[in-house]
Amino acid sequence: MKGEREVKNGVSEEEREVKRKRVMERSDSPPPPLGFNNPLLPFANAYDDDNNQQNKSQTRCNVVAKGEGNGNKVKGEAQVEVDDDEDDDDDASKGRGKHSRHVEVRRDCPYLDTVNRQVLDFDFERFCSVSLSNLNVYACLVCGKYFQGRSQKSHAYTHSLEAGHHVYINLLTEKVYCLPDSYEINDPSLDDIRHVLNPRFSRAQVNELDKNRQWSRALDGSDYLPGMVSPHEFLQAVMKASKKRFRIGQQSDPVEFMSWLLNTLHMDLRTSKDASSIIHKCFQGELEVVKEYQGNENKEISRMPFLMLGLDLPPPPLFKDVMEKNIIPQVALFDLLKKFDGETVTEVVRPKLARMRYRVIKSPRYLMFHMVRFKKNNFFKEKNPTLVNFPVKDMELRDYIPSLPRAPEGENVCSKYNLIANIVHDGKPEDGYFRVFVQRKSQELWYEMQDLHVAETLPQMVELSEAYMQIYEQQEE
C-alpha cells in the first residue's frame, strides 16, 4: 500500500510539472493575430505593461500613425471625443494611472425632461455629499445634490442606479453627462444652467451693474439684484485663505477683516513684488508725518501710505445728567478730521514721547474712516458711545482738510465724496453685534444687512447709529 501511494504521488508531481511548463509557454508566446481588420485594434495595443516605458511610448506613436491612416476609411454616426478628466474617486485612482478614454457625444437624451431647475443651487460649497471631497464633483440636475466621480465605483454612478437620476453636470468643466450610460450630452437647452453655474459678463455689462435698475429673476422664481456674490463661497474662501482666522458663525472686527482682505487681495493681484495693484489704486492714499521729539529742535518729515484713517473720539463724560442718566455726547466729523490738517498736534508715548502732525497729501478714490471706539485696559474692554454726525452726500474734503493739495492742471479730480457704506456697532463691547448700511447707486436706496438678513431702510436711519467704519466714494467730474 505504501509503495502504491508513492507511485501515485510521483505521477501527480510529474503531471503538475508538465502543466506548469505549458502555462509558461502560453504566457510567453504573443497573442494570435485577428482574422479581420478591426479599426479599434491600435487602441487595444496602446496599453502595455508599466514596467517597460520605452515599448509603451513606441506603441503610442504607432497608435497615432495608424489612427491618422485609417481616419478616412472609418466613419461613425456618433461623435467621439477624448475625455481626460480623472473621473475615478481617490481610492480607485491610487491603483492605476491617469489615462484617456473616449466618451460618446449625443444631442438627443431621453432623460432631459427630468432636469429640475427649481432645485438647482450652485452657491453652496462644491463638495461631494457622501465623501466630502472637492475633487471631480458633479451636480445631479434632477435633485441638486453633489456627488464625486463618474466611474462605476463613484458615488454619482451609484446615485444614478439607486435614485434613477441620470443627468449630471461637471462643476469644473461644465460638461453634462448621462449616467450610467456615461455619454456626454450636447444640447443647447442646458446653456442657461451653465450660465448660472459660472456667470460670465463683458466689461460693458460690469460697468452697467451700478446703473441697472431692473431686478432679475432666478431659476427658482425669486427676485434678486444682479451682481451679487455668493456669501457661502466667499466665506469658505476667506476661511481657507486666512487659515481659519475668520470663521463662519464667529463675529470678527470689521477693521481687522478689511485690513486683512485688502492686503491679501493686493498681494495676490500684483504682477511683481514692487508693482502696484488695483487695490492700492483705489484705496491707498498718502500722509505727510512731521515728528518732533522733546528737547530736540530737529524735525523728522516722512511720507506714509494708508488704506484707512483712524479717527480718535473724545472721551465720554464721567458724570450723569439731572435725570441720573448717562449723557451721550455728539461730535461732528469735521472736528475729527482736524487731526489730518497738518497743524493739529497729536502726542504719542510709544516708542518714545513725541509730538506728531499729520497731513493728507493724496486722497484715494475710496476713503475709509475708522472710529476708534474700543479700548482695552488691564481688566476689561471699554466702548465709547459718542455719536458722530457725518454727511451722507457731497462731503467736501477740502472743507475738512484745508491743506489738501490741489490736483495738477489738466487732471479732473474732484474732492467731493459720497457715503456708500456705514458699519455700526450695537450693544455692549463684548456681547454686541455689527450691522452695515449699503447704498444701491442705481436707485440711491439704502439696505441694512446683518449676516444673511437684508432689508430696505430709510436714509435717515444711517446717521442715527454708532458708526464704527465708513467708506466714501469720490465723485466723478
Percent composition of the chain: helix, strand, coil (DSSP 3-state, to 5): 30, 25, 45
Residue 450 and residue 363 share a domain: yes
| Any domain includes 113 | yes
- Assigned domain for 83 exists: no
Calpha distance 141→32 (Å, rounded) = 47
Taken in order 160, 162, 165, 171, the sign of the CA dihedral is negative
d(CA 103, CA 420): 51
* Interstrand relation of 101-106 and 183-185 (parallel, antiparallel or unpaired): parallel
- Asked if residue 73 is part of any domain, the answer here is no
Q: Give me the pLDDT at residue 224, please.
A: 75
Question: In total, how many domains does the chain have?
Answer: 4
Regarding whether 416 and 343 lie in a shared domain, the answer is: yes
**Residue 372 and residue 310 in contact, taking contact as beta carbons nearer than 8 Å:** yes
- Shared domain for 308 and 400, answered yes or no, is yes
For the sheet with 299-306, list strands across it: 299-306, 285-293, 354-362, 346-348
Residue 377 grid cell = 485696559
CA–CA gap between residue 274 and residue 137 (Å, rounded): 38
- Residue 219 in any domain: the answer is no
Name the residue range of residue 57's domain. Answer: 38-65
- Domain assignment present for residue 258? The answer is yes
Mean local confidence (pLDDT), 126-133? 91
Q: Are residues 324 and 379 in the same domain?
A: yes
Rounded Cα–Cα distance for residues 101 and 177 (Å): 14
**212 lies in some domain:** no
- Please tell me which residue, 71 or 196, carries the higher pLDDT value: 196
Answer yes or no: do 48 and 93 share one domain.
Answer: no
Q: Are residues 61 and 111 in the same domain?
A: no
16-66 per-position pLDDT tens digit: 777 776 656 655 555 444 444 444 444 444 434 444 444 444 444 443 334
pLDDT at residue number 62: 44
**For the segment 384-427, what is each residue's pLDDT rounded down to a tens digit?**
888 999 999 888 888 888 777 776 665 666 888 999 999 999 98
Residue 145 to residue 127: CA distance in whole angstroms: 10
Decide if pLDDT at 71 tops 70.
no
Residues 317 and 426 in one domain: yes
Number of Cα atoms under 13 Å in the Cβ half of residue 405? 14
pLDDT digits (tens, 9 = 90+) for 161-176: 999 999 999 999 999 9
Please compute, for residue 152, the number of CA atoms within 13 A of its CA located in the half-sphere on the CB side: 1
Instruction: Based on the fold, state whether residues 165 and 301 are members of the same structural domain.
Output: no
Digit-coded pLDDT (tens) for 177-230: 999 998 999 999 999 999 889 888 888 887 877 787 778 787 778 887 766 677
Interval 322-368: pLDDT, tens: 665 667 788 999 889 989 988 888 888 777 888 889 999 888 999 99
CB 155 within 8 A of CB 130: yes
Q: Are residues 432 and 461 in the same domain?
A: yes
The rounded mean pLDDT for the chain is 78
Alpha helices in 230-360, H assignment, sequence order: 231-241, 254-269, 278-283, 333-336
325 and 445 co-located in one domain: yes
130 and 54 together in one domain: no
Q: Does residue 240 fall inside a structural domain?
A: yes
314 and 413 inside one domain = yes
In a domain, 2, yes or no: no
Arithmetic mean of pLDDT, 450-460: 86
